[in-house]
Amino acid sequence: MELGQYIIIGICAVNVVWGCPQQCHCKDNATFCMGYGIKDFPSPIPSTTKSIHISYTNISSLKPADFDAFSETLTKITINNSRINEVQRHTFDKTHKLTTIVCSGTELVSLPEDLFQKLRSLTFLMLSNNKLNKLPSSLLTSLQSLKILDLSKNNLSSIPENAFQDLIHLEKLMLQRNGIRELQNGTFHGLTKLKILSLQNNNLKVIPGNAFEDLVNLETLHLQNNVITNLPAELFGHQQKLQKLYLSNNQLSFLPEGIFLKLPNLQQISLYDNQLQSLSINTFGPMLLRDLWLYDNMLTRLEENVFSNLTHVRLLVLTRNQISHISPGAFNGLNELEEISLHTNCLTSLDERVFRGLPKLVKISLENNKIQYIPEKLLDGIHYLYQLELQNNSLTSLPKTFLDSLSNVDSVVLTENPWRCDHGIVPLQDWLKKYPDKVKNVTSVVCFSPLDLRNISIINLFSHPLPIPTFTPSDNSAVLFEKEELIIGSLEMHMIITAVVCTVAIVSIIICVVCWRQNKQDSQKTVI
Ligand SMILES: *[C@@H]1O[C@H](CO)[C@@H](O)[C@H](O)[C@H]1NC(C)=O
Ligand SMILES: *[C@@H]1O[C@H](CO)[C@@H](O)[C@H](O)[C@H]1NC(C)=O
Ligand SMILES: *[C@@H]1O[C@H](CO)[C@@H](O)[C@H](O)[C@H]1NC(C)=O
Ligand SMILES: *[C@@H]1O[C@H](CO)[C@@H](O)[C@H](O)[C@H]1NC(C)=O
Ligand SMILES: *[C@@H]1O[C@H](CO)[C@@H](O)[C@H](O)[C@H]1NC(C)=O
Ligand SMILES: *[C@@H]1O[C@H](CO)[C@@H](O)[C@H](O)[C@H]1NC(C)=O
Ligand SMILES: *[C@@H]1O[C@H](CO)[C@@H](O)[C@H](O)[C@H]1NC(C)=O
Ligand SMILES: *[C@@H]1O[C@H](CO)[C@@H](O)[C@H](O)[C@H]1NC(C)=O
Ligand SMILES: *[C@@H]1O[C@H](CO)[C@@H](O)[C@H](O)[C@H]1NC(C)=O
């Protein structure tokens, strides 16, 4: 016999002595039963058992007799991943000391409505990941001590209006991943101690305006991944303590005025993946918000002062909207802003004042727009900029003053712009040569026009053996001149011009002197 078999026999012997069922393990008043071989509720369970844990079994039903032997001591029961499809009435009538019930991963479709009526001490009830499709309205009415209720990942499509009304100590209510279609006015009535409410991944379309009226201690509210089309203006009127509000992935096309005005403790909000077309002032009140995620919406404009109460925001994400206009004062008030993402929008221009008053900016993302021109003073007053993304725009050149303001930047991305390599490119070229390490993929910053310089790296323009410009009658002599100037380079040009001028001057003087002397000799000759 092998050691393992001895151990098993040993354990079985001990179990028999202590009255622990086969396939279970009993230790310190806790009993653990596991294995698909278990088809009936294990027995005998030691009468001192305080907690029982049943997992991965083939038990199909729970009945009152199962708990008879240890009902006086039982405080905790955990059942998971078992094939239970029925819990009989009165099963928990005698287990009145129960504080915790976990029942998840079963086949349960429903529960008897008076199942928990004797459980005055129950504080934790987890019924997630079953197949419950109906919540009897009186199922939870006696659970006055309940603090945590988890009904997530079931098949509930509605919640009876008074289902939670007696849960006056409830702090955490999890209803996510069901198919809940609507909430009643009074669904959360009386839950004044609730701190966390999870309603994400349901089918909610509208929410009654007074649904959250009593939730004065709410700190976290999950409403993301529903199909909410609009929010009543007064919905969050009583959530002074709310810190986290998740509304992403819904179908909101607007936010009513005043909606977030009374949330002074809000630190996080998610609004991405909606259909927001505009933001009005009077949307955001003073709050502690640090990040604002608004990507994947349909915003077209940002008006003056829309964010002006958000004085703590550090990250503003407006990516993937359709923004074509940003008012000069749109970002007023965002004194702490460090990072702004505006990429993949429809911007063609930016007002030079748009980032004024954002002294702490370290990162600006503007890629994938159609920006044609960057104002010289765009970065005035921004001293800590670290990263600037301008790739995939419609830029043909950058002004020198703007480039000079980039001297502290660590990374600039400039690829995929139609750079025009005429005299206007000189400031950019000089800058690239001075700071090649600041530019990501610097050799991919290439000319787009004129055609015969296309795809030539701007930084290599001078040293590149340029194709000899072939002069044809249609060629524009100005372009030719510009090209020559580029080939020669502005500095070299200056020196050459100076040299030529000097040479001409010296030669002229020599010629003059020679002529004068000859003249003199000639005249002397004539005189003589
Ligand atoms: C088990 O329960 C009994 C009776 O309540 C108690 O006397 C004993 O100390 C408990 N043992 C442990 C290890 O908790
Ligand atoms: C558990 O029950 C399922 C379905 O009734 C059955 O297919 C499976 O063989 C059972 N497992 C054991 C170990 O009896
Ligand atoms: C199932 O129960 C066991 C024992 O109580 C526990 O350790 C495990 O985390 C549970 N698994 C799930 C998925 O709830
Ligand atoms: C959920 O309940 C509906 C009826 O309300 C039923 O048609 C559907 O099959 C159930 N889904 C699951 C996964 O049990
Ligand atoms: C919900 O409350 C509002 C305002 O108090 C009321 O007008 C409406 O009729 C109520 N709806 C239901 C279904 O009770
Ligand atoms: C800022 O908050 C105040 C007070 O809640 C509000 O009256 C004002 O309209 C808000 N401003 C903006 C621009 O939203
Ligand atoms: C460039 O930006 C446009 C939008 O302006 C976008 O459709 C396209 O996918 C972007 N190209 C790349 C390579 O990211
Ligand atoms: C740099 O440019 C090359 C050629 O355009 C491209 O294949 C590569 O992915 C770029 N690298 C980075 C880091 O952008
Ligand atoms: C420039 O480069 C692009 C992509 O690398 C290529 O498709 C195009 O043909 C090139 N144009 C010229 C004029 O070389």
Reported as a single tens digit per residue, the pLDDT across 327-382 is 999 999 999 999 999 999 999 999 999 999 999 999 999 999 999 999 999 999 99
3-state secondary structure of 293: strand
With a cut of 80, say whether residue 182 has pLDDT above it: yes
- Contacts of residue 507, Cβ cutoff 8 Å, sequence gap at least 6: none
Question: Which ligand has its closest atom nearest to the C-alpha of 207?
Answer: 5
* Nearest ligand 4 atom to alpha carbon 179: 1
In order of 54, 86, 241, 304, the CA distances from 12 in angstroms are 18, 30, 54, 76
Whether a cis peptide bond, with omega within 30° of 0, leads into 359 is no
pTM of the predicted model over 0.85: no
DSSP state of 104: E
Name the closest-CA residue to atom 10, ligand 7: 368
68: which 2 tokens?
Answer: 């008879």
Spatial contact of 127 and 146, defined as CB atoms under 8 Å apart: no
Q: What pLDDT does 508 receive?
A: 66
Q: Shortest CA distance to 248 belongs to which of 267, 230, 222, 266?
A: 222
Pocket test for ligand 3, best of 31, 55, 127 (most atoms within 8 A of CB): 55
The strand pairing partners of 196, in sequence order, are: 172, 220
- Least confident range from 57-71, 157-171, 514-528: namely 514-528
Q: How far apart are CA 88 and CA 62, in angstroms?
A: 6
Distance 59 CA to ligand 2 centre (A): 10
Name the closest-CA residue to atom 13, ligand 6: 281
Q: What is the mean pLDDT of the chain?
A: 88
279: which 2 tokens?
Answer: 């933001």
In order of 234, 327, 454, 500, the CA distances from 471 in angstroms are 73, 48, 18, 25
With a cut of 80, say whether residue 470 has pLDDT above it: no
Q: How far apart are CA 348 and CA 395, in angstroms?
A: 10
Which ranges of 282-425 does DSSP label H, i.e. alpha helix? 400-404
Distance 223 CA to ligand 5 centre (A): 21
Pocket lining: 232 vs ligand 5, CB cutoff 6 Å: no
Structure confidence by residue, pLDDT tens digits, 473-484: 333 433 434 444
Name the closest-CA residue to atom 14, ligand 6: 282
Pocket lining: 411 vs ligand 8, CB cutoff 6 Å: no
Distance 185 CA to ligand 5 centre (A): 6
Q: What pLDDT does 479 receive?
A: 42
